[in-house]
Amino acid sequence: MILRATSSHRSDGALATASLLGTLDVASFLLTRRQVIFRESLGRALGSVTGLVLWSSLAGAGWAERRGRGKRLLGGVVTYLAVACGAGNLALMVVHFKVGKGRGRALLGGSLGAIALTSALDRISGA
C-alpha cells in the first residue's frame, strides 16, 4: 500500500518543531547516559539510537520536502516517518508510566509523538 500523502500547511510547522525537539530529546538522553547505557543496557541504547535516526530522518525529510525537493516521494516518506516516530514515542510513554518511571521526559516524548501522529493523520486525510 502506498500512501499518497499531501502536505498540510497547518501541520507542517508543528511536525517540523516536533521532529527537531524529538531529535534533541533523544540526542540529549544518549549524551547524558552514554557512559552507562551502552555498557549496561545495549538493547535500550540501540532503541534510543533507532529513535534518534527516525526523528532526525523525519526532520531532514520534512526540511527537504518544504524546500520542494522530491515533493511527491518525500510526502510519503515524511508521513511514514511521522507515523513511526509518533506510534513509537506514544508506546514508550505508556510503558514508562506503566512501570512507574513516567516523568517529564516520558511525557515530553509522548506529546511529541502525539503531534507527529496527528500531523501524519492530517497529511493522510489531506485536510
Q: How many C-beta atoms surround the C-beta of residue 15 within 10 A?
A: 30
Pairwise pLDDT comparison (39 vs 3), residue with the higher score: 39
CB hemisphere CA count around 104 (13 angstroms): 2
- Band of the pLDDT at 2, cuts 50, 70, 90? very low
Q: Give the cell for residue 40.
A: 549496561
pLDDT tens profile 37-94: 889 989 989 999 999 999 999 999 988 888 876 677 788 899 999 999 999 999 999 9
pLDDT tens profile 96-106: 999 998 788 89
The overall average pLDDT reported for the chain is: 87
- What pLDDT is attached to residue 49? 95
Task: Provide the whole-model pTM.
Answer: 0.85
- Report the C-alpha gap between 38 and 18 in whole angstroms: 26
* Angle formed by the axes of helices 104-125 and 71-98, nearest 10°: 150
Q: Is 89 exposed, middle or buried (0-12, 13-18, 19+ CB in 10 A)?
A: buried
